[in-house]
Amino acid sequence: MTERLAADPAGISRGAFLLGSGRLVAFGTETVYGLGADATDADAVAAIFAAKRRPRHNPLIVHVPDAEAAFRETEASPLARRLAEAFWPGPLTLVLPRRRDGRACALAAAGLPTLAVRVPAGVAALALLREPGRPIAAPSANPSGRISPSTAAHVLAGLDGRIAAVLDCGACAIGLESTVLELADDGARLLRPGGVTREAIERVTGPLLPPRQAGSAVNAPGQLASHYAPVLPLRLDAETCAADEALLAFGPVRAAPRLVWNLSPDGDLCEAAARLFAGLRHLDEEGGRLGLSGIAAMPIPGHGVGLAIRDRLGRAAAPRPAAVFAA
């Protein structure tokens, strides 16, 4: 059985004890819930891949309580230190060269010479990371290919019985994942848009490097086209909503569809990000129950955190392999 822990000192201590014993503990961050395991323990990290049914070539983010702990695992350039200063704790993940004397096991990095590190915001998450005194590997706490969880109930919907515990930290404030930024000798490259906007990053880094060509060597190995998959097909940038479609709305809605989830009636992108994954889950479940044939998503502007929302919707709409449904 999966233990449900309150985010109080007793719950945090229990969670830290379980992590230190090589068990899997999900916990809330400001972005989404992560599925944590001791990053120094290869068996515990292997258990993450098994519980999520995640392909082992897809590396994990190592979570630490402060920048110094991050730079004990990775080689810090001056730019990395400036970014850490500007955005940690917070929704930015840095992909840096992995240190030979780092403690995270090679499996956490899927054997790559780089390692993704992040200092999450959130009082309970930081307290949980401080107690075991070792880095914690934590991908999003969903079965691979499914919608990321932004509440403890979402975690249990996908992983109940497959993990030791979930620390209930309430609903995640940002609601979609961190921005993943790779730092190379020639500059910084965005691997995944997320909670820190591209505009805010470029104020520190200057113009970002162009994305690598599709099909080039390892880029963001986890950036599979199909991800965040609802069961109902998703239609993007929809100007109309058919009678048998649910509507994922943004801004004012004139029609009266049978089923609607408004990401933000006022057109606020931060509110929309926070309500995105819960909305996709709701429309998918209710739409299926009502016998609807799909979800129509209204256009979302591509600036600010809208870039990350559009990225996630694009992945949710992408054709997916049959294996995703088996997960």
Please identify, using beta-carbon distances, which residue of 89 and 158 lies nearer to Mg ion: 158
- Span near Mg ion by CB under 5 A; candidates 132-140, 230-238, 243-251, 301-309: 132-140
What is the 3-state composition of the chain as percent helix, strand, coil, each rounded to the nearest 5?
30, 20, 50
Residue 318 in the binding site for ligand TXA (CB under 6 A): no
Residue 74 in the binding site for ligand TXA (CB under 6 A): no
Q: How many CB atoms lie within 10 A of CB 302?
A: 14
CA distance linking residue 247 with residue 241, whole number of Å: 6
Site for Mg ion in 57-96 (CB under 5 A): none
Residue 28, classed as helix, strand or coil, is strand
Residue 90 in the binding site for ligand TXA (CB under 6 A): no
* Contacted by 205, from Mg ion, ligand TXA, none: CB < 5 to 8 Å by type: none
CA distance linking residue 228 with residue 155, whole number of Å: 14
Query: Three-state secondary structure along 224-262?
Result: CCCCCCCCCCEECCCCCCCCCEEEEECCCCCCCCCCEEE
Residue 140 in the binding site for Mg ion (CB under 5 A): yes
* Distance of closest approach, residue 39 Cβ to ligand TXA, in angstroms: 12
Please identify, using beta-carbon distances, which residue of 112 and 236 lies nearer to ligand TXA: 112
Q: CA nearest 30: which of 133, 123, 144?
A: 123
Please identify, using beta-carbon distances, which residue of 41 and 311 lies nearer to ligand TXA: 311
Strand 136-137 and strand 33-38: the pairing is antiparallel
Among 86, 112, 157, 324, binds ligand TXA (CB under 6 A): 112
Among 83, 115, 126, 173, binds ligand TXA (CB under 6 A): 115
Token pair in block for residue 288? 């299926």
Q: What is the contact surface with ligand TXA in residues (CB under 6 A)?
A: 29, 31-32, 34, 58-61, 91, 93, 95, 109, 112, 114-116, 118, 120, 138-140, 177-178, 180, 191-192, 220-223
